[in-house]
Amino acid sequence: MSWVRTPHVPFERGLGVGLDLRYGCAHGFVRTSVPEGGSEDRLAPRVRSFLQQHREDFVYAFFSFQPKDRALLDPRDYFPIWDRLVEDVPEYASLALHHTQLNLGTVDQVTDRSRLLDFTNAMIDRYDLRWVNEDVGIWAIDGKPMPYPLPPILTCEGLAACAGHVESIQKALCSPLVLEFPGFSDGSSFVLGQLDAYDFFRDLAEWTHSPVTLDTGHLLSYRWLRGCRGASLYDELDRLPLANCFEIHLSGCQLAGGRFLDLHHGVLLSEQLELLRRLIAKCPNLKAITFEDPKVNADGSLPTKARGPFEELLVIANRWIENAECEDRYARA
């Protein structure tokens, strides 16, 4: 995969955690009083506690960038908050950024991204963020944020437009841009276009020589939308850009009332774990598996429903990591 700008990370294989840090949210940044008077945004104590409890399990973390208000983006507004964030989390081998503003599938006329890209590079530089990823999709239209990112328009024109945006942003970012397969959560998005999303994503990754993130919930949501059930949920994986896969995400999903819901509530489905096993076998350049958006109790523990699947994830991930170590010893022997 020498032609792909793969993130440089100090581990061969690792399990990490991804956190969506919204302001004023119980699992994000909360207003915390300071002794000198006033208050500041700080990582929610329950999340801090969860990360401490699992500091041996995760070698890296990514943080989602969420704007805290409607001000023009200025990194100086975020440095104090993120400086405290880095103090509050364990020392990880790598940190990364899950962006929400790149809008890779945008339908808007984009004339100037310089403020956004300068902001992102300032964050990359200060926190040594090893990669930046974002779901390929439409996060905002004409300045209006979507409640959930829409998939890109799945047409030849949509693909060409998307590739143009990806290339433009790749050139400007100081760390590699990792493309994430978009979600198709029932009720939160709809699909426009005749192209198969797997083919669209593969073509996009290959044309732009991009590393990719395969999100198990997103892949399953697409297959579910296409009417696949049971074993057919796992079919056609070979249409995806498997050789470009750097990272796999697992965030909580639910099947309810015949609908597939990408809830990010921390409870993994058995289907996601099965898909993870299959993808591990098919992705030769996979380096990172991320447990995304855990939702924890006030004491930092996982709710009962989430524990079993999480422990199963640990088993799968640790076996995959150990296999790398075995393969490495074998190669050196």
Partner 1 sequence: MPGLDASGWHQQCQVLRALVFSESRRAQIDAADDLFGSLVRDDLGRFGERVIADLCTRRRRGAQSFESMYGDTLMGLRASARTDLLRRFCESSWFIRYGEVGDRRSQICFEEATYRFLCERGVGNEEVRRVEFLQAVTRALAVQPNCAFSVPDEVQRARFGLFALAPLAGKTLLFAIVTGRLVTGPVAPASAAFLRAFGHRPATSSLAQDDWDKVGEALAASGIVF
Summarize as ranges the residues that interact with partner 1 (CB under 8 A).
23-24, 67-74, 101, 107-108, 112, 115-116, 138-148, 150, 153, 155-158, 160-161, 163-164, 186-194, 207
Instruction: Tell me whether residue 7 or residue 182 sits nearer to partner 1 (CB atom).
Output: 182
Angle CA 311–313–317, to nearest 5 = 120
Instruction: Tell me whether residue 258 or residue 284 sits nearer to partner 1 (CB atom).
Output: 258
Instruction: Tell me whether residue 34 or residue 333 sits nearer to partner 1 (CB atom).
Output: 34
For 41, half-sphere exposure in the C-beta direction (CA atoms, 13 angstrom radius) is 21
* Cα distance between residue 118 and residue 111, in whole Å: 15
* Distance in Å, CB of 164 to partner 1, minimum: 7
* Distance in Å, CB of 259 to partner 1, minimum: 10
* Distance in Å, CB of 198 to partner 1, minimum: 15
The pair of three-digit structure tokens given for residue 136, joined into one six-digit string: 């390929």
**DSSP string spanning 13-30?**
SEEEEEEE--BT-TTSEE
* Distance in Å, CB of 152 to partner 1, minimum: 10
The pair of three-digit structure tokens given for residue 178, joined into one six-digit string: 């990792």
The pair of three-digit structure tokens given for residue 164, joined into one six-digit string: 């143009």
Q: Which residues of 29-54 are buried (b: 16+ CB within 10 A; e: fewer)?
A: bbeeeeeeeeeebbbbebbbbbbeeb
**42 touches 316 (CB < 8 A):** no
Instruction: Tell me whether residue 83 or residue 108 sits nearer to partner 1 (CB atom).
Output: 108
* Cα distance between residue 195 and residue 160, in whole Å: 13
**DSSP string spanning 97-115?**
EE-SS--TT--S-----HH
* Distance in Å, CB of 38 to partner 1, minimum: 13
* Distance in Å, CB of 261 to partner 1, minimum: 12
Instruction: Tell me whether residue 14 or residue 182 sits nearer to partner 1 (CB atom).
Output: 182
Q: Which residues of 73-105 are buried (b: 16+ CB within 10 A; e: fewer)?
A: beeeebeebbebbbeebeebebbbbbbbbbbbb
Instruction: Tell me whether residue 97 or residue 161 sits nearer to partner 1 (CB atom).
Output: 161
* Distance in Å, CB of 74 to partner 1, minimum: 7
Instruction: Tell me whether residue 85 or residue 95 sits nearer to partner 1 (CB atom).
Output: 85
